[in-house]
A and B are shown apart, each in its own frame.
Chain A
Amino acid sequence: MSWLEILILFPFITSFSLLIISFTEAQKKLVALWGALVPLPISLFAWVGLDHANFQLQNIICYSVLPGTNSEVVLGLDGLSAPLVSLTCFLCPLCILAGWQVIRVGVTEYLVSWLLLEGLLVAVFTTFDLLVFYILFEATLIPIFVMIGIWGSRLRKVKAAYQLFLYTLFGSVFMLLALLLIFAQVGSFDYGVLIASNFSIERQLLLFLSFFLAFGIKIPMVPIHLWLPEAHVEAPTGGSVILAGILLKLGGYGFLRYTLPLFSEAVLFYTPLVHTVSLLGILYASFTTLRQIDMKKAIAYSSIAHIGVVTLGIFSGNLMGLVGSCVLILGHGVVSPGLFLCIGVLYDRYKTRLVRYYGGLAQVMPLFSAVFLFFSIANLGLPGTANFVGEFLCFSGCFQSNNSAAVLACSGMISSAAYSLWLFCRISFGTLKTVSFLQVADLNRREFFMFAPLVFITLWVGFYPKPVISLLFVPLSCILELGF
């Protein structure tokens, strides 16, 4: 068995063992935690061990689906997918930790769905077959649907789960059609074959739109983003974390991996559209964040704004923008989970997410306030944090291709400072509201150890991003070479 197989299969095997072996509840939690954690060092080793100068897939495994034909499913890693795999393996144990004490009903199912989600996500980032990518892309919906529907907080959760499922499905059935059209022309779903093939301009325009709908809903772009705030608000803390950290990034990954190299002319044709939509997203989401009264909704909208920057970077058409978007994907994948975990900490204690019930928490929960401040600042992109590196590179990439869009986007990001700090101030400073007297408890050990690695990674990538960026250069310049 190669490393990659262990990486993918380990969570599945663990979830299966949870189902068939009778553990006590505490044992179940520990088994699940270790099952989710073991892939992390493996994925880190695989990432570090990648050959930086090699643009081809590494650690390849091939599965022949039909003997005698050339239908092979290729799994592998490259510099683009390896960090996302590591991020997945890093966030899933955190999510299990986040529900450690809160989840009382259906613990086994909860843990099993986390492990399944982790396995599916690792597989989706390692597959290099369009059909398998699509299948896994859709399959990730089922665990998160169940998670929101069963362990969500309010009655509205059912509506949120529905919206999540149907929005994504609606987008991806168009991708399915596009995929079949590609297959009808090329006769293969293999990534290497697809990259080598050419599509006529008219067909590219059509295919791009279908892929754009699928990935745009997933990432989400502004007119089709409505499912995201609902899903974030209703999901349990872990669900929000994985949504913001990984599932949204699937859209960005799809753009980078498939849309840019395959439909290069169409990308040029549609770049103004994408820039417009991203700008709308940045401006609209930033201003909407200012008027939210639900903390999770505020973070959700700020995610949409940051994702707008990511898409600007992806479609900037130069290496700087692409690298920036990848770094921002990683940075946002660490910072926004941190914020959602902070809100989860508050919700676990006081059972409300409305901002108006909170105030003056800095006096009774100093450690929490410090962590929350750190992530708020990271979210607004202060130098020294991972988001700064990403945003800076995105904007400078965008300046090279589209001045006005870059200027507007930068000014939109100013309001991110406004909403992040305002949210923090309303919760942590001022007079102590009554709700805070009910139970005064700062971060406990479990929560501290959830936050510590997030803080560490944010700072590390912020101060010394070279290890991450140097790995991204080769695959991204390949995409650029093929795409533009």
Chain B
Amino acid sequence: MFPFSVHSRFSYFSFFSNDLVSLLPEIFLVCCICLFLVHGVVFSKTGRILSTNVANLSILALVFVCILLCCSPGGNYLAAYSCFFEDDFIRIIKVFLLLTCIFCVTLSLFYIQLEKSNTFEYSVLLLISLFGIIAVLGANDFLSLYLGLELQALSFYTLAANVRVSEFATEAGLKYFVIGAVASGFYLFGASLLYGFTGCVRFSDFSLLLSHIAPAEVEGIFLAFFIFFSSFLFKVGAVPFHAWVPDVYEGTSLNVTAIFALLPKLALFGVITRLLFCYFFSLFDVWQFPFVLCAVFSFVWGSLAALGQGRIKRLLAYGGISHSGYLLFGVCSGTVYGAQGVVIYLLSYILSGVTIFCSLVGLRFSRVRYIADFAGLSLFSPGVAFAIAASLLSAAGIPPVVGFFGKLSIFLSALAGSLYVGALFGVLCSVISTFYYLRILRTIFFENGSRPLGAFFSFFGSYFSKELSFLVGFCAVLLFWIPINPRILFFISFYSSIGLIG
């Protein structure tokens, strides 16, 4: 397939003997996507509302993919002529991606029913983007990585502009599209430069090449490397490339915001960690300092800019920027602790993110947009108030909640990697971020607002759907339960980091 590859072993039998088994979850997912699409197209002519139906079906499909993934043979393998790679690290991230995606579909289901939107394409697009993300995670060369990234990005552009009547959504979709195109351009430019300078397409060839010759001997490789990686920084919203994040968060509808906030971060940080730790580690001396700068600026800017925000979505967006900073900081430490820290931080981020977005979607009926709209929530709905409090405390990294363990392991990796000044900035910024998260808690618990919430609650009574309230409760309890019994968290992080390194 790629004649210039070192490891290319062309065999007709490998597909059926090996690849079919190892790629079974992905193949199943693609089949489901096609089926749902056909199902939707055929039955939408009959005039039935299909959005709920397809969303339910896709939850079932995702659960099944998850089971398939958990039952996969395990170990490390290459598939499809070494285009895809899988090890324990990737598998764990994939499982969490699928779980997160199930959560996202569940909360979208509620949203769809609430808004009475009749677009079954939404769930299909989400599944397509999920497939893209999974391809990104497992990619083993520049081309498959690019194809995965584009598949994910294209369906995300459409998702962003999902609410066709809203000007904000259209603007957000357009912005996201333009920025994404620029990022893809960077990716292609960097990748082609890397290929041009070294002649390698496969990542494992890269690491082999770089371990045998001094990187400085390959001229231009540093430039190519940074151009290549700046596209990833674009996508995760790290600081010099962060400007699109708040606008896109604000413009898109709430369910899409949840997807944008949760899914790509999980996958992209998995990929970044794997690329930097496994394949480009010979260039560690070169990439460490610039990436540390990016990380530090991200969390400094994320936490400072969030101070002035009045809208909850923009605040979460800036919070997301600073979370990206912390994650990147963990990667930059270049230690095993760093890989563990990234996994733990990602898990806590997902948990708190799911909790807060589910609660916001549940409060959607009352049009909560500004932080001030939360006033008196604890009086009307103590359960939701507790869930939001737990998730915000976790995002701020306050000790008894699981987010603390994320921050702890990130800072531990930073100190183990002698990034003392950065760690100092990190803890100071976490204090600043606590300040604005506490501001929301103050509004929820200490202020007795009478405006929208009061009228809303007296009128509607019970409004969360069963699934949504289960989801909120489950995540909120997990946020407190995991710190009491952190074994599972540490076990996952150890296991995945061993998969990554060894």
Chain A residues with CB under 8 Å of chain B are: 65-67, 109, 131, 134-139, 141-142, 146, 149-150, 157-158, 161-162, 165-166, 169-170, 173-174, 176-177, 180-181, 183-184
Assembly CA distance A53 to B141 (angstroms): 68
Q: Is the CB of A158 within 8 A of B435?
A: no
Contact A139 to B431, CB < 8 A, known contacts A149-B445, A150-B445, A180-B411 = no
CB neighbors of A among B384-438 (8 A): 393, 398-400, 404, 408, 411-412, 415-416, 423-424, 427-428, 430-431, 434-435, 438
**Shortest CB–CB separation between residue A191 and chain B, in angstroms?**
18
Assembly CA distance A158 to B441 (angstroms): 11
Interface 9-residue window, one of B56-64, B87-95, B483-491? B483-491
| The residue from A141, A169, A181, A184 contacting B431, defined by CB atoms under 8 A apart | A169
- Provide a sorted-by-A list of 20 A–B residue pairs whose CB atoms are within 8 angstroms: A65-B487, A65-B490, A66-B490, A66-B491, A66-B494, A67-B487, A109-B382, A134-B399, A137-B399, A138-B399, A138-B404, A146-B445, A149-B442, A165-B434, A166-B431, A169-B398, A169-B431, A177-B411, A177-B424, A184-B415
Q: Is the CB of A138 within 8 A of B398?
A: yes
Q: Is the CB of B442 within 8 A of A177?
A: no
B393 to chain A: which residues have CB within 8 Å? Answer: 142
| The residue from B398, B400, B423, B487 contacting A66, defined by CB atoms under 8 A apart | B487
Q: Is the CB of B399 within 8 A of A170?
A: no
A165 to chain B: which residues have CB within 8 Å? Answer: 434, 438
State whether the Cβ of B474 lies closer than 8 Å to any Cβ in chain A: no
Contact A150 to B416, CB < 8 A, known contacts A135-B483, A169-B434, A177-B423 = no
Contact A170 to B431, CB < 8 A, known contacts A142-B398, A150-B446 = yes
Q: Interface centre among B423, B427, B434, by most A CB within 10 Å?
A: B427
Q: Is the CB of A135 within 8 A of B400?
A: yes
Assembly CA distance A228 to B427 (angstroms): 23
**Shortest CB–CB separation between residue B387 and chain A, in angstroms?**
14
**Shortest CB–CB separation between residue A213 and chain B, in angstroms?**
11
Q: Is the CB of A176 within 8 A of B487?
A: no
Q: How many residues of B contact A (CB 8 A)?
A: 29
**Shortest CB–CB separation between residue B198 and chain A, in angstroms?**
36
**Shortest CB–CB separation between residue A60 and chain B, in angstroms?**
20
CB neighbors of A among B77-125 (8 A): none
Assembly CA distance A116 to B406 (angstroms): 24
A interface, over-half SS: helix
Residue of A nearest to B490 (CB): A66
Complex A-B, nearest 8 residue pairs according to Cβ-Cβ distance, in ascending order: A138-B399, A173-B427, A139-B400, A135-B399, A149-B446, A180-B415, A180-B412, A184-B416
A161 to chain B: which residues have CB within 8 Å? Answer: 442, 446
A142 to chain B: which residues have CB within 8 Å? Answer: 393, 398, 400
Assembly CA distance A177 to B393 (angstroms): 19
Q: Is the CB of A183 within 8 A of B400?
A: no
B483 to chain A: which residues have CB within 8 Å? Answer: 135
Assembly CA distance A139 to B484 (angstroms): 12
Q: Mark B482-502, 1 if CB is under 8 A from A, else 0.
A: 010011001100100000000
Q: Mark B259-275, 1 if CB is under 8 A from A, else 0.
A: 00000000000000000
Assembly CA distance A162 to B432 (angstroms): 12
Q: 13 more A-B contacts (CB under 8 A) besides A177-B427, A180-B408, A180-B412?
A: A65-B487, A66-B491, A138-B400, A138-B404, A146-B445, A157-B446, A162-B435, A162-B442, A173-B427, A173-B431, A177-B415, A177-B423, A183-B412
| The residue from A139, A166, A181 contacting B434, defined by CB atoms under 8 A apart | A166
Assembly CA distance A157 to B487 (angstroms): 39
**Shortest CB–CB separation between residue B397 and chain A, in angstroms?**
9
Residue of B nearest to A178 (CB): B415
**Shortest CB–CB separation between residue A112 and chain B, in angstroms?**
11
Assembly CA distance A134 to B423 (angstroms): 18
Assembly CA distance A137 to B438 (angstroms): 18
Q: Is the CB of B490 within 8 A of A176?
A: no
Contact A158 to B442, CB < 8 A, known contacts A135-B399, A139-B399, A176-B408 = yes
Q: Mark B320-333, 1 if CB is under 8 A from A, else 0.
A: 00000000000000
**Shortest CB–CB separation between residue B386 and chain A, in angstroms?**
10
| The residue from B412, B434, B486 contacting A184, defined by CB atoms under 8 A apart | B412
Assembly CA distance A142 to B416 (angstroms): 30
**Shortest CB–CB separation between residue B109 and chain A, in angstroms?**
29
Contact A135 to B404, CB < 8 A, known contacts A66-B491, A150-B446, A177-B424 = yes
Assembly CA distance A158 to B483 (angstroms): 28
Q: Is the CB of A176 within 8 A of B400?
A: no
Assembly CA distance A109 to B378 (angstroms): 11
Residue of A nearest to B483 (CB): A135
